Amino acid sequence: MALLDNIVRSITNTFRFKETIFCKENSDLQDRYDALQKLNNEYPNNEDLLSELFTIKQGLNGENEVAYQLKRANIGMYVLRDIKVQHEDLSAQIDYVIITPIFTYYVECKNLVGNITVNDKGDFIRELNIKGKRIKKGMYSPLRQVEAQRAVLRKIWEKNASSLEKILTSQCFEYYRRVLVVATNQETILNTSKAPKEMKYKILRADALVRQLEYDLRHKKSDDLFNTQKSMEQRAQAYLRFTSSETVDYYKFYQDKYDLCHTLSTEEFKNILLEFRKKRSNDLRVPAYYIFTNDELDRILEVKPTTMKELQQAHILSPIRVKRHGEIIIQCLNNATKSYHEK
């Protein structure tokens, strides 16, 4: 009998669905990054934009690393990236929902900076090296964060499940819907040696994610049944039905956040300087490039000098042209900025 079971299991495993299918692969972070890139091109050297862009890029890199690992898996799963589930007054945001033949995982991606230790109380301690000094700081637990999101999803499930479903599966909701925190920064040292036993397998690095999914499948209960590809797809579609379709105009969002509406863009500055060059060359009856060339125009736009000293130190124009046109160029730029702010 055991031999027959092994043969059946072997045949089933051979023909079992093993692909990774992304039902939703777009990410809110990608939309944010694209908007910030566009704004950064229009408002270069804006420190707020550069800082935000760096942070978003780190998070996006982390999500992309998880996607890369999942695509290499040979388990058979449906994946939804950056899910915002909305039902009545309940909402939850999950970086990844992974539906495997037995378990569903809610994954929180963290591109953590510094080394992370989880102590025996389950607290996350971050260790940073700042100017040669090691500084330890507590941080909000990403595990509690994703557990809270699971609790919201449970409430949504309870509102939509039949009475029979609640009776049969309510007790094992968390067993079949697991939470994971994935550290995606390859340079981060993750120490969970003293973490509570029930937490250890829930906190891992990106390169260990697929191994954990495989481990869970190998160590399933004897009465756990493999879901068919069709049932896994139906679960994925159920998440999509509750996913918010609201789109955010992040270009306008960040423009408002950093008050960029009251700042001239590079393109606007360029048009003002081109108009100035045209008028100046006509008044002096010289070719436009005698005032400044297109390459020099680009350098002026990059530096945006506000004083003669800044213009001289930038070494964009020759000393003769700085002397002849510099003050008027500075006046043109400053007047344009002043006039814009007075609108």
pLDDT in tens, 112-135: 888 999 999 999 999 888 777 888
Whether the predicted pLDDT of 233 surpasses 60: yes
Q: What is the pLDDT of residue 3?
A: 54
The b-or-e profile of 249-262 (16+ CB within 10 A means b, else e) is ebbeebbeebebee
Q: What is the identity of the amino acid at 276?
A: F
Whether the predicted pLDDT of 300 surpasses 70: yes
Q: Tell me the C-alpha distance between 155 and 158, whole Å.
A: 5
Neighbours of 107 (CB within 10 A): 21
Q: What does the DSSP assignment read for 256-301?
A: HHTTGGGS--HHHHHHHHHHHHHHHHHHHTS-GGGT--HHHHHHHH
| Rounded average pLDDT over 239-266 | 82
Sheet containing 20-24, strands listed edge to edge, beginning at the edge strand earlier in sequence:
20-24, 77-87, 90-99, 104-110, 177-183, 203-205
Q: Which helix (H) or strand (E) covers residue 231, if one does?
A: helix 229-241
Q: Tell me the C-alpha distance between 210 and 98, whole Å.
A: 11
Sheet containing 115-118, strands listed edge to edge, beginning at the edge strand earlier in sequence:
133-139, 124-130, 115-118, 190-191
Q: What is the pLDDT of residue 11?
A: 45
| Rounded average pLDDT over 93-113 | 93
Averaged confidence pLDDT in the chain = 87
The pTM of this model reads 0.75
**Quick one: pLDDT band at residue 8, thresholds 50, 70, 90?**
very low
Q: What is the pLDDT of residue 36?
A: 94
